[in-house]
Amino acid sequence: MSNFTVRKAKKEDMVHIMKKIIELAAFEGYPEGPKITASDLERDGFESDCPYFFCIVVEQDETNKIVGYALGNYAYSSWTGRAMYLEDFYVDPELRGLRLGHKLFKEMCKMARDTGCHRIDWHCLVDNNLATKFYESHGAFDVCKAESRTCYRITNDEILNIANL
């Protein structure tokens, strides 16, 4: 069996991360969803004085192939203070069941602990039962159900319309 290492992503990993982002989008049924490029990831995560995201990867030791990743950013909660938002969490489908997701999730929780974050938030597709089971096995709960909340978003067109009023 292969050995795997979980580590912080490097700038040169972003080409591979972009491929994984596209794989995740296709898995979720949105193959045309991602609008960014590997260059955007390099710029925003590694060429900025204040990086816009963090990324950790699971790498297969023998091949140095990235087989999973978690990408997120730091946030702030008026209730708990420092927080993290997890944008993507993905392990190659053929390697699921090897506890690589657990290793990746554990490393993310260590990052949260080490940076003083008191919570991690994320979204999950309602019909992704495998992910729901995984997250709940790690103590996660559905905020929409538990706190009677819903989730909203505005995109660039609305942002520009409102900003230009």
The helix/strand/coil state of 60 is strand
Mind telling me the catalytic residues? 135
Same domain, 109 and 164: no
Same domain, 72 and 18: yes
pLDDT score at 48:
93
| Domain extent at residue 129 | 124-165
Q: Report the greatest alpha carbon distance in the chain.
A: 59
Same domain, 88 and 152: no
pLDDT score at 153:
87
Same domain, 76 and 142: no
The helix/strand/coil state of 78 is coil
Same domain, 57 and 79: yes
pLDDT score at 164:
92
CB atoms within 10 A of CB 76: 9
pLDDT score at 20:
97
Same domain, 109 and 36: yes
Same domain, 113 and 128: no
| Distance in angstroms (rounded) separating the CA atoms of residues 88 and 108 | 12
**CATH number, domain with residue 59:** 3.40.630.30
Number of folded domains that form the chain: 2
Same domain, 87 and 60: yes
- Tens-digit pLDDT profile for the chain (165 aa)? 579 999 999 999 999 999 999 999 999 999 899 999 999 999 999 999 999 999 999 999 999 999 999 999 999 999 999 999 999 999 999 999 999 999 999 999 999 999 999 999 999 998 999 999 999 999 999 998 999 888 888 989 999 999 998
Measure CA 107 to chain center.
12
- Residues facing 9 on adjacent strands: none
Helix (H) or strand (E) holding 38: helix 38-46
| Distance in angstroms (rounded) separating the CA atoms of residues 146 and 130 | 20
Same domain, 22 and 83: yes
